[in-house]
Amino acid sequence: MSSDKLNIRISSSRELSDEQKAKLESMLGEKLIRCRQETDPDSIGGMRMKVGDTVYDLTIRHFIDRFASKEKNRTDVDAALSVTEDIKKNIQSIDTDIDVYEIGHVVSVGDGICKVAGLADVMAGEMLEFEGNLRGMVMDLGEEVGVILLGDYHKLQEGDVARRTREIMSVPVGDALIGRVVDALGRPIDGKGPIHTTETRAIESPAPSVLHRKGVSVPLQTGIKAIDALVPIGRGQRELIIGDRQTGKTAIALDAIINQKGQNCICIYVAIGQKESTVVDVLDKLKEHGAMDYTIVVSAAAADPAPMLYIAPYSGVSMAEYFMYKGKDVLIVYDDLSKQAVTYREISLLLQRPPGREAYPGDIFYLHSRLLERAARLSDDMGGGSITALPIIETQAGDISAYIPTNVISITDGQIFLESDLFHAGTRPAINVGLSVSRVGGDAQMGAMKQVAGLLRMNLAQYRELAAFSQFGSDLDKATLATLNRGRHMSEVIKQGQFEPVSVPDQVVQIVAASEGFTDDVPIEKMQDFESRVVDYVKMNFPEYEAEVMTGKKLSKESMEKLRSLIKEFRDSYDA
């Protein structure tokens, strides 16, 4: 019968007397328990009882530790309070009831992963606490629980205690995060002090259902002519930015963020596996253009443990969801998900999950789909907010048919493909018009832009095709030469410097000028000057034009005729 008894271990600052032991056993039920008592001078006073994995703690040491933890995290100290009054105030606020918690013990640790024995009732995704304010997240359930460690784990050793929090992994959310730089756990890393937030949100949340969504119909302007005209993005869309290293992927994302100034759109930039110096450069650019007033930067640097890179995108989208469900529009950039995929592969192999294609675990598709599906435009009943996602994927030698690129392409609503050859030839942004597509953005495109962009795409496609063949022959007919000439001018129109956003009305003027042949005899080197001056001329002589474009509707027949005539007038008077 003794094997049916429950083992209970009791520790206190001094050994219990025989009378105390007898009394305790009679209280607990002598036939049901096997009680073992030990002395723990560090407990100072009080008693701790462990039943299986569960600990009932009423020691003075534990009370002091809880008080110290509260003091460490406290941010609302009244400077006028004396030290004594301050301590009294906080001691009174500490809950002195018995603290009940479950613990396990570290069996093995290494490379940002540990295995924990015990914790029979732990949940997947639950946050665990270790010594030294180290946190972990449960990834695998079994006899030994697989945990990813979110922080400096080098002091963690076998036998150390892991404590359940009964909370799913969460990050702080709220308006206080705007303008700040935080790590993957939402902790400030910009040296500007604590962030005063009262709400948290689980990093893993279900995506909005189809019933709670509505179609993409409101444009998100990037200020980049090649995108707004040829691959338009709508609020609530997921548009992939893909290309080789150093082809301008981050530049496009930053331009899109900077162009949201005054557009009532909150931006979140998630840096995954970037060098800290690169993140600092991004911050400097955002500050320089006033974009940090409406932007949150989440940084999981290359030097951080792999689990931090894994959860960073989920932390970012949780912060975005807070605003979306309050009816606001959010633009979130994941830079880049290739590094997150590699990190997840590393974590999964360390957790001994079976590898699949190209040594990635079988659920690598689910890794990104459950992230990107959280981008949506909510129905009016849900507040009408939106999250527009711009994930970035790095290709190797332009291979967009590789495993991870094809996975993410199949999840998103289109892609902007940046080509190395175009980039090195001086076309910036180096967007390949043939391989770039926006499957739903056309519904959100402004009427005036839709009116003129079709001709631009067709002419550029003809030019790229003819340009490839023309290099093999010298005798070309006049029609071919004319097409090549116009194509060169149109290619020049969609070139654009970084951090130089162009408004939609200005883009329409420049596209009409090039696509309808008004710039055919303008020297290529003069195109930039012509573009800026023709815009000024139209604004000066057609003041109501800009307001008509911004209504979102197509330009009337009369307005289009007037626009063409003004461009022609300017061209006739332009001194090339």
SS3 255: helix
Helices assigned H by DSSP within 304-446: 306-324, 337-350, 364-372, 403-411, 420-424
Burial grade of 114 (CB within 10 A; 0-12, 13-18, 19 or more):
buried
Residue 136 β-bridge partners: 128, 149
Burial grade of 468 (CB within 10 A; 0-12, 13-18, 19 or more):
exposed
Q: Give the C-alpha separation, 529 to 525, whole Å.
A: 8
For residue 378, give the DSSP letter: B
| Catalytic residue flag (residue 353) | no
SS3 content of the chain, % helix, strand, coil (to 5): 40, 25, 35
Q: Give the C-alpha separation, 227 to 265, whole Å.
A: 18
Any idea how long the chain is? 576
Q: Give the C-alpha separation, 387 to 383, whole Å.
A: 12
Is the Cα torsion angle 422, 426, 431, 434 positive or negative in sign?
negative
Return the H-helix or E-strand segment holding 260. none
Residue 200 β-bridge partners: 172
C-alpha separations of 31 from 7, 21, 28, 34 in Å: 11, 14, 9, 8
* Sequence-separated (6 or more) residues with CB below 8 Å from residue 479: none
Look at residues 324, 320, 327 and name the one whose alpha carbon lies nearest to residue 268: 320
Residue 62 structure tokens:
């534990």
Residue 33 β-bridge partners: 6
Residue 152 structure tokens:
């400096």
Residue 38 β-bridge partners: 11
Q: Which of 439, 457, 464, 564 is catalytic?
A: 439
Residue 535 structure tokens:
């815009």
* Sequence-separated (6 or more) residues with CB below 8 Å from residue 283: 181, 292, 297
Q: Give the C-alpha separation, 219 to 40, whole Å.
A: 66
Catalytic residue annotation: 439
